[in-house]
A and B are shown apart, each in its own frame.
Chain A
Amino acid sequence: MSLCSLYFLFMKYGFLCFGGGYVLIPLMIDDFINRRNLITSEAFGNLISIAQLTPGPVGINAATYIGYTQHGVAGAIFASLGVVATSMILAAGASYYVTKWKDSFPVKALLTGIRPAALALIFYAVVLFLGMSVLTPEVPLIPCVKFLFTGENTFPAGLHFSFPSLLICLAAIVLLKKTKISTTWLILGSAALGALICS
């Protein structure tokens, strides 16, 4: 696969992606494993564990990894640029025109419509995040994706409640509300605390 087709393939993924990078994973499985045979399912499983265990948005991590397996560093860069290309056109355009036509009827009606829906999606994300952190010590990503798209419950039987995670979560809420500590320090502090009490 050439660099150019890699770029356009990931651009297509970006365009098909609504509501978060997790949506991309079933698409990539279908394309790279089933249809094109470009990487093995073992390598893909490896990718998932790397994508969720390294910082960075899951969608961009997945693009970088697949890009690297195809074309080295250049492939990693082209695939990541491809996956954000739609954002650079559509989200930037939305930002510009919504500000420009803020007082027009269509823009107001659009925002009136999507604000409650976006809030519902954020609450839904809260539920998913709780499921990924407080309920279990590690992210069961594939069951989560399956659960999201088919409603099929494939969570491992040993899904258990993590008290240290709940403690960190509550501490983060209290510190954010009551003190002026920056989110950077909160995240770094949680990493250190997690290494001590969640391991």
Chain B
Amino acid sequence: MNDPEGNRPGEKMENVPEKTGTFVTDLPLWKRLFLLFFTFAKIAALVVGGGLAILPVVEETFSKKYKLLSSEDLLDMAALVQTVPGIIAGNSAAFVGMKVAGYPGVVAAVIGVILPSVTVITLIAAFFPGLKAENPYVLGAFAGVKACITGLIIVTAGKLAVKTLKGAYEGIAFAAYLVMLLFFRINAAFVIFLSIPVGFLYSYILLKRLSAEKGGTK
């Protein structure tokens, strides 16, 4: 199935180091596991609203700081964590864990991501069962965090848009899906399921055209 001609135009132009399969790093395994556990625990403890709010922090830690993920990996992550069933936080932890340290990494990242919830919620349920957040400062702090996360997601969305929208197909498909989500209230799962055959169709047409062109020049 390996077909070098199947590359989409422009895909190879990026200066991203190819990091397929084999993982090159100087960090020892225990350090990577600790990093995964600690980062995902930190994300889960700080981020209110979960899910996609994880992306900016993953990019900062694993891509910029430790260079364990390429920008291509981040793009794949943003796409796949929303495609595979499961909550986005858990999917992101498992996805990054696998990339960075294999299956032990998955376990470390997933334990990290559930630990703050288990601790905090259990403490609240055990000691303050009737807790209602009425303290204006607490509410204000949460409003501040949500506003900050909104800003972080906007930045991440902008970066991903630059990387994803490389041609007419991406632009038109993106606009169509966004209109479906925003104005026609079409379910997110349906949009993802629709996008898969569309992607296969487009890739197939591209492949056919490329081989036809090659045949023509010979």
Contact = CB atoms under 8 A, between A and B. Distances in A.
Contacts of A98: 76, 80
B193 to A, nearest CB: 9
B32 to A, nearest CB: 15
10 cross-chain pairs, A with B, having the tightest CB-CB distances, nearest first? A194-B144, A113-B199, A57-B50, A172-B151, A199-B140, A87-B90, A190-B148, A117-B195, A57-B89, A120-B177
Given A61-B121, A104-B1, 5 more contacts: A61-B117, A76-B121, A76-B122, A109-B203, A191-B142
A92 B147 contact: no
Nearest to B188: A19
A61 B197 CA distance: 35
B94 A129 contact: no
Contacts of A139: 146
Q: In terms of DSSP, what is the predominant structure of the interface of chain A?
A: helix
Contacts of A187: 46-47, 145, 148-149
Interface string A113-127: 111111111111111
Interface stretch (A1-9, A30-38, A63-71): A63-71
Contacts of B118: 64, 76-77, 80
Contacts, number: 422
Contact of B122 (A68, A122, A177, A196): A68
A73 B122 contact: yes
Interface string A36-71: 000000000010011111111111110111001100
Interface string B5-45: 01110000000000011000000000000000000001011
B156 interface: yes
B202 interface: yes
Interface in A136-187: 137-139, 148-151, 162, 164-173, 176-177, 182-184, 186-187
Query: Which of A65, A88, A117, A165 lies at the interface centre, i.e. has the most chain B CB atoms within 10 A of its CB?
Result: A117
Interface residues of B, number: 118
Interface residues of A, number: 115
Contact of A91 (B94, B189, B198): B94
Contact of B75 (A55, A69, A115, A129): A115
B132 interface: yes
B167 to A, nearest CB: 10
B82, B83, B117, B173 — which one has the most chain A CB atoms within 10 A of its CB?
A: B117
B8 A118 contact: no
21 contacts: A15-B86, A17-B87, A18-B188, A56-B120, A68-B126, A83-B90, A84-B87, A84-B110, A86-B85, A104-B3, A113-B203, A117-B177, A121-B192, A125-B52, A129-B153, A132-B49, A162-B147, A172-B148, A173-B155, A176-B151, A198-B140
Nearest to B155: A176
B52 A60 contact: no
Interface of A: 14-21, 24, 46, 49-61, 63-65, 68-69, 73, 76-77, 80-81, 83-84, 86-88, 90-92, 94-96, 98-106, 108-127, 129-130, 132-134, 137-139, 148-151, 162, 164-173, 176-177, 182-184, 186-199
Contacts of B124: 50, 54
Interface of B: 1-4, 6-8, 20-21, 42, 44-52, 55-57, 60, 75-76, 78-99, 103, 106-107, 110, 113-114, 116-118, 120-122, 124-126, 130-133, 136-157, 160-161, 164-165, 169-170, 173-174, 177-178, 180-182, 185, 187-189, 191-192, 194-200, 202-204, 207
Contacts of B117: 54, 56-57, 60-61, 63-64, 80
